[in-house]
Structure 1
Amino acid sequence: MIRFAIVGCGHIARKHAEAILTEQGAMLDAVCDTNRINLSDFSSKYGARPFSDYDELLRDPYIDVISICTPSGLHAPLAVKAAVAGKHVIVEKPIALTLEDADAMIEACKANEVKLAVVHPNRFRPAVLEMRKALEEGKFGKLSHMNATLRWNRNQAYYDQAAWRGTKAFDGGVLMNQAIHNMDLLLWLGGKVESVQAYTATRLRTMETEDVAVGIVRFTGGALGVIEAAATVYPNNLEESISVFGEKGTAVIGGQTANWIKHWRFEGMDEVECQQTIAKVASNPFGTPGHQLIVRDMIEAIEQDREPIVTGKDGRDALELVLALYRNADGRALFEERMNVRV
């Protein structure tokens, strides 16, 4: 039995708790939060030992894995401490807010011989797995381009419910917070990126970071990628999609969340076969919850002494892409301001 502790008893921690309680071979042994009311409520609901002192939690010899569910700006120091204490780490996305912090986490886990997994559960969606399989089998042929679109709503009340939301120090904007899953999928499906261009803006929300962003990437293989991410869509989440276009195939995954195959055509594949794949995914579009699979994979990684499926490097790569988009957008905005051409 692998014993887990959750640090940070906010909204996302509930997904971790349900995943741990559902997965055989896992036990939710402890929870930790500096907010004693949240801690008491969470501990009572899930039957886990409460800790208000993180260092005390790390001294507990029974804890095997720390699941970090705190604001993003706190991920690195908590993960490093956990690694030094000999605990394996599952960390919510993004892995961190700076590459220096991500590197410190990866190095600490490596030096102390513990596992580090980053929560990018969209990889486990049945539709996404079908797209990955088609790419691995070369069904698309030479790639033309890819699209990642996130048209969601996060209203002002969402950002006002906690002082850290939408801040540069602890959260980031729509690219860092919501669309980083889509960045991970772009890299997982399309490979490495060699150059980026981007615009970001804060149009409708009162926050430090961006609520809308658009970008273009060039993959090392020459294919292009288009990114659109928004938290400003009225009145609710509209769609999330990822599309791949190649010389021999076209595939589009979409819906309010990217869980359904909307288009699936390949050279040499007749309409019946295409519809069979679409129907197979539609029969169970969500599959096993991604957080549960992350927990299951961590257990297996410990037992088999292997790397988790979504590694610290994977989390770092997605972070690096977001930061590259930010740098390009910031440089463009500064140039336009100097040239007095900003709208």
Structure 2
Amino acid sequence: MIKFAIVGCGHIAKKHAEAIEKAENAQLVAVCDKIPESMQYYKEKYDVKTFTDLSDLLKDENEVDVINICTPSGFHANIAIQAANAKKHVVVEKPISLTLEDADAIISACNENGVKLTVVHPNRFRPAIKELRAIMDAGKLGKLSHADATVRWNRNQAYYDQAPWRGTKNLDGGVLMNQAIHNLDLLVWLMGDVDQVYSMSATRLRNIEAEDVSVGVARFSNGALGIIEAATTIYPKNLEESISIFGETGSVKIGGVTASFVEHMDIESLTEEEISEIVERVKADPLGKPGHQCIIEDIVEAIKTDREPIVTGEDGKRALELVIKLYDSADSNEPVRFEKNVEVNS
């Protein structure tokens, strides 16, 4: 049995607790939050120990194997590094951090201490996305032309007013960092490294420091192009999250409110019957096993078999880097290249 502790008992922590409860060989044994009242739910429902100080948790609860970090994003790095130095494996909510320097520090701390690190990007485990990945891995789309990643959601002012850190640049970020980063993780996971981006962003409708709408374009290292659109300004509710991939011998769009359905699929090497089977298979169970549960079960298996988690710290950093480069481009009003690819593509 792998034993877990949750740090930060806000909204997302409940998903972690439920995932741990449902996952095989996993048990929630402790929670930590500066506000004692925030931990009462977990104490009553899961009969766990409670701590208001992370240091006390790391000292007292020697049986804890994994620390799940569910705090505002700006606090991820300090907590992850403390956990790694205490020889605890780390599950960190998206984004891995708000800066590349912090992401590198987290990854280094986990590597130096020989502990596993995974970032919560659960959309990879959705049935429709898994079908798309299998099709692409088999080369059925041929040479890739371009991709489109779209998040058209609503987060009203009341959402941002729930807590003073929401919508701030130092602790939260805007629509790219907070909402769209899951879709951007899929974009990079499916299309490969990004070479260059050009982006514009604005704060149009919400009274926040960060952006509530962003549009941009990207060039991938393989030469394919990408279109990125993200907004929390959609009236009156979430409209869609989608990812579309277009290639020489196939095109696929995964859409719906949360990128869970096959909205279009036309592939040269697949018959209409084969495509229909995929569409209906996804439609029968569009959400599949909850993504957070998949993340928990994967880290358990990674610990037991001493392998890398499916979503690594480097994966989390790649999604973060795309967001940061989009921010840099919007701030400078110029295209921004990715340093690691400059020499190869220049």
Would you call these one fold, judging by a TM-score over 0.5?
yes
Amino acid at match of 1:250: S
Amino acid at match of 2:17: A
Partner of 2:34: 34
1:257 partner SS: coil
- Residue deviations 1:282-313 (CA, integer Å, cap 9, x gap): 11110000100100000010011111110000
- Residue deviations 1:32-66 (CA, integer Å, cap 9, x gap): 10011112233223321111111010112110000
Backbone CA RMSD of aligned residues: 0.8
Gaps of 5+ in 1: 334-343
State the TM-score, normalizing by the size of structure 2: 0.95
CA–CA separation in structure 1 for the residues paired with 2:271 and 2:26: 44
1:233 partner SS: coil
CA–CA separation in structure 2 for the residues paired with 1:164 and 1:175: 16
Q: Is the 8 A contact 1:95 1:315 kept in 2?
A: yes
CA–CA separation in structure 1 for the residues paired with 2:97 and 2:146: 29
1:167 partner SS: coil
Partner of 2:78: 77
CA–CA separation in structure 1 for the residues paired with 2:44 and 2:55: 21
Deviates more, 1:265-274 or 1:38-47: 38-47
Amino acid at match of 1:30: A
Partner of 1:301: 302
Gaps of 5+ in 2: 335-346
Identity of counterpart residues, as a percentage?
60
Amino acid at match of 1:137: A
Which residues of 2 match residues 156-167 of structure 1 at below 5 A?
Answer: 156-167=157-168
Partner of 1:322: 323
2:333 partner SS: helix
Partner of 1:284: 285
CA–CA separation in structure 1 for the residues paired with 2:274 and 2:93: 37
Q: Is the 8 A contact 1:39 1:52 kept in 2?
A: no
CA–CA separation in structure 1 for the residues paired with 2:189 and 2:127: 15
CA–CA separation in structure 2 for the residues paired with 1:9 and 1:110: 27
Partner of 1:336: none
CA–CA separation in structure 2 for the residues paired with 1:194 and 1:255: 29
CA–CA separation in structure 2 for the residues paired with 1:194 and 1:313: 17
1:149 partner SS: strand
Partner of 1:339: none
1:89 partner SS: strand
Shift of 1:271: 1.4
1:204 partner SS: coil
CA–CA separation in structure 1 for the residues paired with 2:44 and 2:216: 45
CA–CA separation in structure 2 for the residues paired with 1:143 and 1:294: 29
Partner of 2:338: none
1:225 partner SS: strand
Partner of 1:338: none
Amino acid at match of 1:51: F
Which residues of 2 match residues 1-343 of structure 1 at below 5 A?
Answer: 1-59=1-59, 60-332=61-333
1:221 partner SS: coil
2:252 partner SS: strand
- Residue deviations 1:62-109 (CA, integer Å, cap 9, x gap): 100000000000000000000000100000000000000000000000
Shift of 1:273: 1.4
Amino acid at match of 1:102: A
Amino acid at match of 2:269: G
Q: Is the 8 A contact 2:149 2:243 kept in 1?
A: yes
1:243 partner SS: strand
CA–CA separation in structure 1 for the residues paired with 2:8 and 2:211: 25
State the TM-score, normalizing by the size of structure 1: 0.96
Amino acid at match of 1:35: I
1:206 partner SS: coil
Q: Is the 8 A contact 2:168 2:208 kept in 1?
A: yes
Partner of 2:343: none
Deviates more, 1:34-43 or 1:82-91: 34-43
Tell me the number of residue pairs that the alignment of Structure 1 and Structure 2 aligns: 333
1:309 partner SS: coil
